[in-house]
Amino acid sequence: MNTNTPENNPAAASAPAAASPLATPGSEAAPAAVSPETQAALASTAHAPNSPGATHIRSFVHRRGHITQGQLAALERLMGQWSIPYAPRRLDPAAAFGRQAPTVLEIGFGMGETTEKIALARPDDNFLGVEVFNAGVGSLLRRIEDSSIPNLRIVQHDAVEVVRDMIAPDSLAGVHIYFPDPWPKKRHHKRRLIQPAFIALLASRIAPGGYIHCATDWEDYAVQMLEVLGNEPQFANTADGYAPRPDYRPLTKFENRGLRLGHGVWDLIFKRVA
C-alpha cells in the first residue's frame, strides 16, 4: 500500500473530519445507491471498536475521501461474497476459503493491484487482505470479480485488532506489509504500524518457518523496520540487512516512478524461528 502522497493516502491530511464512511468530497451524505445492509456494515469500520482493555494506537485516520461509482457498486454487490466481517473470535481459514491451504495475511493492500497479482501467481496459497478504506476495498472487490480470484478474502477493519482477535497463534504461512503509511513527521512516528508490540503479536501468529515481508520507500522507516524486526527474538533475518525484492512481489506503478526518479526501495524478509 503506497501511501506517500495525500492523493493516495487519506491519512496524510493534516486534520481529521467526521463523516459518513461513504461520504464523498463536498458531500455530507452517502451516495443513495447503497443498501441499508451495506451502509450498516461499512459504518462499523468508521471507528473500529476496541476489545475490552485494548489501548493500542491506530495507524490510520478515517477521513472523507473519494470513491468511484464502480468501487461503490462493488462494495454493494460483492462484500457479502468475498469479505469476512470482523468478529472478536478466531477465524477458521478452511471454512472461510473453502479449503485447507497455507494462509498469507496482507496488511494495508491499498487499491489491491499488488494483492491481485500475487494471489493470481500463487493459487496454492490463501490470501487474507486487511484494509480500512472503502475505496481500496471496493477496488480489490472489483479485481477479485474481474480476474476470478478464488483464493482471496478481505477483512475491512483495524489490522491490530484483526491479528489479535481473529488470527490463531502459529497459523499463518506469511505476512505482507507493503509500503505502510510512513508518518514522516517525527511526532507522528508513534503511529507507524511497525512497532515492537505489534511485531511480537504478528510473530506469535506466524507458524514456525513462516515469514514476514515488509517493504518501504522511506529510508528512515526502513531503518526502524530493520531494528524492530531484528530485535524480535521470534524472527531471524533471511538476508544480511535488507533483502533483494523477491519475484513474487511485483513492482507497482508508484514504485517504478520512484525508481526512475532515483528513490530507494527497501525489502525486509524475516522468518519465524521455532
State the alpha helices, DSSP H only, in 46-133: 69-82, 93-97, 113-121
In the block, cell 507522528 appears at: 188
Take residue 40 and report the three cell numbers written for it: 450498516
Radius of gyration of the chain (CA): 18
Take residue 227 and report the three cell numbers written for it: 531494528
Residue 220 falls in the annotated catalytic set:
no
Catalytic: which of 125, 181, 217, 267?
A: 181
Distance in angstroms (rounded) separating the CA atoms of residues 265 and 258: 9
Burial state string for 6-36 with b = 16 or more CB within 10 A and e = fewer than 16: eeebbbbeeeeeebbbbbbeeeeebbeebee
Residues with a catalytic annotation lie at 181
